[in-house]
Amino acid sequence: MPSNVEIKAVVRDMGFLKERAKELSRSEGTVIHQQDTFFNVEKGRLKLRRFQDGTGQLIFYERPDMDGPKLSNYSISLTNDPEGLAKVLSDALGVKGIVKKERHLYLVGQTRIHVDSVEGLGQFMELEVVMKEGQGVEEGEAIAQELMQQLGVKREDLIVGAYMDLLMAAKSG
């Protein structure tokens, strides 16, 4: 199963973060509008990600709920019928919730920097260090820590869980 080391953090200064991400990636980045529908499952998380072009990805992942760099194992299947798949999965499993976001994606080496505006939550960033064959988790964590420093991400800005978890907590709180 593919894996990555990732962190998620609250963004305090979106302008600064985007500028640093542009400098580090040597690109303007890519803007992606995503809608993630999370389904009720016994373990891990299962979501259907829909894109503006009518395609989608079914993504299953498992990762510990803790702040700081953490290993995430995942599987992805592409679909050209996200609406039909959403209907089947909704009927079979039930919907946990939906997350809508505008994502700015920057690539730095083997790391994906996501700068996200999440509807109903605010502004966040994620680092996903995509692990290479034979690469140890410690190396991925070191890459994530270095990028956190370069992007000005402070330890106290790190958050636990998925956007879905944060939305559910905000609704119940």
Q: Which two tokens stand for residue 106?
A: 């920057």
How far is the C-alpha of 25 from the C-alpha of 58, rounded, in Å?
27
Tokens of 168: 């559910």
- Domain ranges in the chain? 3-172
Q: For 125-140, what is each residue's pLDDT tens digit?
A: 999 999 998 898 899 9
> Which pLDDT does position 64 carry in this prediction?
81
| Superfamily per CATH, domain 3-172 | Hypothetical Protein Pfu-838710-001 (2.40.320.10)
Whole-number pLDDT of residue 103: 97
Query: What pLDDT score was predicted for residue 81?
Result: 97
Ranges of residues in the chain with a pLDDT under 70 are 173
* Residue that has been written with the tokens 């402070």 in this structure: 154
